Amino acid sequence: MVASSISQTRVWFITGCSSGFGRALAEAVLERGETVVLTARNLQQVEDLAASFRDSTLSIQLDVTKPEEVKEAVKKAIAFFGRIDVLVNNAGCEVAGVIEEVPDQEVRREFETNFFGVLEVLRAVLPHMRQQRSGHILNFSSIACFRAGAGGGIYGSSKFALEGISGSLANEVAPFGIKVTMVEPGWFRTDFFRRSYVLMDTQIEDYKPLINEISQWVVPVQEMKAKAPGDPKKAALAIIKAVDSDNPPTRLALGADTVKTIEAALEFIKAELDAWREVSVSTDFDEVVANEAQLV
């Protein structure tokens, strides 16, 4: 049965509400009077939110790596609220280590959460959004897509994969009134490194200096997250502003560090493209080059 007291507000379905961006966004949405499906692997971590906003929340246990839980969670949300207006794929994790050595099971675990988990949620929610001819999907990506840091290849590739489907998805669902935004945060004051980050050790002598350097950086981050420049509450407000917009961005960079990183990446790509332009365009058939010259 649809809850009548909240049927006129937007319904947000947010994965990973126990902490970090998911928690901050859920709080911001609820404080402005909207409705949230609070999902988490451990529901005890969202009990306080559910208790404070009893009339505008539904708490559902959800591990996005379990397809049956995903289907059941979406089914419950639709049965209770009648619709899902905003889907936020926020749940994620990171395994760090050198490409040559990160165990296959850790690579697969990373992709099961950051990519296949998102894919499961998307496929469960999209039929409802298509039917209602409206909706907004936000997929959490990362600054890592623009900063190919040593040791971050597995995490970055999982987010690259997510960006790959997000761009295509945006074009596929636009005719149905559904919008898609990739959220690309930098370094924020969340518990991500303490709760969702694993640094793999190395047995290869050549890589030990790199792993030692990463470990010396990560441990202080866990202990002193206050040094991170990003405010999760402000990030939540920025996300809400994008959802409120009639023309939301396909990519929403969050944090000055992300903006600077993306700008540097674009400059690097442009400079390298220009440097190798002659070689790049020389691969066309001669008749194609001749035809193009005639059209100029």
Q: How far is CA 280 from the centre of its chain?
A: 33
114 touches 152 (CB < 8 A): no
pLDDT over 60 (residue 1):
no
What sign does the CA torsion over 78, 81, 84, 89 have? negative
Residues 235 and 285 placed together within one structural domain of the fold: no
Tell me the pairing of strands 197-199 and 94-96: parallel
Query: Same domain for 248 and 272?
Result: no
What is the rounded average pLDDT of the residues 232-252?
Answer: 97
Q: Are residues 149 and 250 in the same domain?
A: yes
Residue 12: what pLDDT? 98
- Are residues 286 and 156 both part of a single domain? no
Tokens encoding 86: 């905003």
| Local structure of 127: helix, strand or coil | helix
Same domain, 148 and 290: no
**Whether residue 137 is found in the same domain as residue 283:** no
- The whole domain housing 69 covers 4-254
Closest to 38 in 3D by CA, of 14, 62, 56, 55: 14
pLDDT for 219 beyond 70: no
Angle between helices 153-173 and 104-111 (to 10 degrees): 30
3-class DSSP assignment, residue 106: helix
Give the chain's mean pLDDT: 91
Active site residues: 141, 155, 159
What's the maximum distance between 2 C-alpha atoms anywhere in the chain?
71
Percent of the chain with pLDDT over 90: 76
Angle, CA 70 vertex, CA 69 and CA 75 arms, to 5°? 95
Q: Is the confidence at residue 258, as pLDDT, over 50?
A: yes
Q: Which two tokens stand for residue 275?
A: 């440097």
Q: How far apart are the first and last CA of the chain?
A: 64
Sequence letter at residue 281: V
Location of structure tokens 């404080």: 31
Q: Are residues 185 and 283 in the same domain?
A: no
How far CA 232 is from CA of 129, 146, 180, 184, 229, in Å, comes to 28, 21, 21, 13, 10
Q: Is 216 helix (H, G, I), strand (E, B) or coil?
A: helix
Same domain, 235 and 281: no
Check whether residue 108 and residue 197 sit in a common domain.
yes
Record the pTM: 0.90
| CATH number for the domain harbouring residue 157 | 3.40.50.720
Spatial distance between the Cα atoms of 231 and 271, rounded to a whole number of angstroms:
33
Q: Are residues 294 and 222 in the same domain?
A: no
The pLDDT, as a whole number, for residue 296 is: 63
CA 88 to chain centre: 8
pLDDT(202) > 90:
no
Strand partners, 274: none
| Residues in CB range of 7: below 8 A, 6 or more apart | 81, 82
Instruction: Specify the pLDDT at position 226.
Output: 61
What confidence category does residue 2 fall into, taking pLDDT thresholds of 50, 70 and 90? very low
Instruction: Please state the φ and ψ torsions of residue 31, each to the nearest 5 degrees.
Output: -65, -25
Confidence of residue 199 (pLDDT cuts 50, 70, 90): confident
Statement to judge: residues 21 and 162 lie in one domain: yes
**Domains of the chain: total:** 2
Same domain membership, residue 98 and residue 199: yes
